[in-house]
């Protein structure tokens, strides 16, 4: 295969060339091989297309920091291949890409399966914090803790070869592309848009998934008008690997319920049809393979995101949260009262909505300026806050050290000495590996 352009994705096909197209999207830190156990059965009925995220599985390292960007690259790939309509199954970030496709390209997605997915994965702070850890320590700490996030303890103990395989997948991922994907997940939130997903959707989740737990799956089912929930017992986040037979069976049943009448250029696509409820026997004893249980979640609507804010206020809130973190902004807003509310509004509108949002300097450069100014003014509490922000904005500890060395020359050694003590403490706290 020739080198993949920046606008497309690395991919492979399995299955008959004239069969309906089914796309499989992998999870963050994995490759298309996470679907290996599903492909033999799926490729009997479908032309299965698997793709790798940028920098994963040897794919070119062209980072993408938005889910929409990744979806656009997949669409560009499909356009080159002449594929108009398709069905789609994605795990975790792969599910986020599938949801984005269903929202922005509803005429192209015939049927959808969201595996180990969520309308919002954790918190933005947690994803940006993971990026800080990777910039400082590389991917090894993330790789070593991947098995405990992806698999149940019993499976990890019984399958050491698969555990080692999962660790190596993460270790061989390009760090810059992994960090960009963390940024994409930090910004991903479709809770207010779920009602606009109009294709038949299977939401499949492991009962023991701690990354995208069953509660998140139920939010998806409550919000998507034509959705079914499949709960797989004894399974954590990487359900297609931990319970391959159960996941394969659920996917076959879901996608087979769609008719195969719509044609693409040179390929047949799957036309949308309402899925039948997915039913399976009760779970078998722990010593035997676990069979999936599917259930219909209660109807309901996801939480709505406030709308109607003035543009500079909304923009300021968004930038402030991205730079300082949700936890800090939530705390600041919680203590605001009649006396201080106007000041908080002023800071949000003008500092964050206007100055920090001006395009001539990126956030990396603005952090350098801010650290220098706070050191010169001796504002050590704010320096601690903005050292954390600088790490989230992409500065490495080595770059922060150089900023403070420079301030020692132009702002004075005593000021820099105090700043070094504050920055060193914050860096040690923020770059401590997980686990």
pLDDT tens track for 334-369: 888 888 888 888 888 889 988 998 888 888 899 999
Q: What integer pLDDT is reported at residue 64 of this predicted model?
A: 96
Closest by CA position to 232, among listed 152, 310, 160, 176: 152
3-state class (DSSP) for residue 217 = helix
Q: Which residues contact 425 (CB under 8 A, 6 or more apart)?
A: 384
Specify the range with the lowest mean pLDDT, choosing from 9-13, 123-127, 311-315, 373-377: 311-315
Dihedral sign from CA coordinates of 230, 236, 240, 242: negative
Residue span(s) of the chain under CATH 3.40.50.1820 come to: 11-295
Binned at pLDDT 50, 70 and 90, residue 227 comes out as very high
As a whole number of angstroms, the distance between CA 9 and CA 54 comes to 7
The DSSP output letter for 32 is: G
Architecture of domain 11-295: 3-Layer(aba) Sandwich (3.40)
pTM of the model: 0.76
Work out the average pLDDT over 186-209: 96
Q: Does domain 311-430 have CATH number 1.20.1290.10?
A: yes
**306 burial class (0-12, 13-18, 19+ CB within 10 angstroms)?**
exposed
The DSSP output letter for 271 is: B
Closest by CA position to 20, among listed 83, 91, 79: 83
Residue span(s) of the chain under CATH 1.20.1290.10 come to: 311-430
Strands 11-14 and 47-51: antiparallel
307 pLDDT above the threshold of 50? no
Work out the average pLDDT over 53-79: 97
Specify the range with the lowest mean pLDDT, choosing from 45-59, 62-76, 235-249, 306-320: 306-320
Return mean pLDDT, the chain. Answer: 86
Work out the average pLDDT over 212-233: 94
Binned at pLDDT 50, 70 and 90, residue 300 comes out as very low
- Kindly state the tokens that stand for 260: 């195969």
As a whole number of angstroms, the distance between CA 268 and CA 271 comes to 9
Closest by CA position to 117, among listed 222, 238, 291, 223: 238
Q: Which residues contact 331 (CB under 8 A, 6 or more apart)?
A: none
């Amino acid at each position: 295969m020739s080198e993949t352009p920046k606008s497309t994705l690395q991919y492979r096909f399995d299955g008959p060339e004239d069969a309906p197209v089914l796309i499989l999207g992998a999870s963050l830190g994995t490759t298309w091989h996470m679907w290996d156990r599903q492909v033999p059965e799926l490729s009997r009925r479908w032309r299965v297309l698997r793709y790798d995220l940028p920098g994963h599985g040897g794919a070119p390292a062209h980072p993408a920091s938005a889910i929409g960007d990744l979806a656009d690259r997949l669409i560009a790939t499909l356009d080159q291949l002449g594929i108009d309509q398709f069905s789609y199954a994605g795990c975790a970030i792969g599910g986020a890409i599938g949801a984005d496709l269903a929202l922005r390209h509803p005429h192209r997605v015939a049927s959808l399966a969201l595996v180990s997915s969520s309308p919002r994965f954790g918190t933005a702070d947690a994803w940006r914090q993971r990026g800080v850890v990777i910039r400082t320590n590389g991917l090894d700490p993330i790789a070593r803790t991947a098995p405990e996030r992806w698999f149940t303890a019993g499976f990890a103990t019984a399958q050491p070869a698969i555990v080692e395989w999962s660790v190596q997948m993460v270790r061989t991922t390009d760090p810059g592309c992994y960090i960009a994907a963390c940024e994409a997940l930090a910004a991903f939130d479709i809770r207010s848009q779920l009602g606009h997903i109009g294709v038949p959707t299977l939401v499949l989740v492991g009962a023991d998934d701690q990354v995208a737990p069953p509660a998140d799956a139920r939010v998806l089912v409550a919000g998507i008008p034509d959705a079914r929930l499949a709960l797989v017992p004894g399974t954590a986040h990487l359900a297609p690997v931990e319970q391959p037979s159960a996941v394969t069976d659920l996917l076959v049943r879901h996608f087979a319920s769609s008719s195969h009448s719509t044609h693409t250029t040179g390929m047949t696509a799957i036309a949308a049809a309402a899925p039948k409820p997915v039913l399976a026997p009760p779970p078998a004893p722990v010593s035997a393979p676990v069979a999936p249980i599917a259930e219909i979640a209660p109807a309901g609507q996801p939480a709505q995101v406030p709308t109607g804010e003035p543009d500079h206020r909304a923009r300021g809130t968004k930038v402030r949260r991205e730079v300082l973190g949700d936890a800090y902004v939530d705390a600041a807003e919680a203590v605001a009262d009649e006396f201080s509310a106007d000041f908080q509004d002023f800071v949000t509108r003008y500092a964050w909505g206007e100055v920090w949002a001006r395009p001539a300097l990126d956030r990396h450069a603005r952090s350098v300026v801010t650290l220098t100014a706070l050191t010169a003014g001796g504002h050590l509490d704010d320096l601690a806050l903005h050292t954390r922000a600088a790490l989230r904005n992409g500065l490495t500890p080595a770059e922060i050290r150089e900023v403070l060395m420079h301030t020692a020359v132009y702002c004075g050694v005593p000021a820099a000495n105090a700043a070094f003590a504050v920055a060193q403490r914050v860096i040690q706290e923020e770059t401590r590996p997980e686990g």
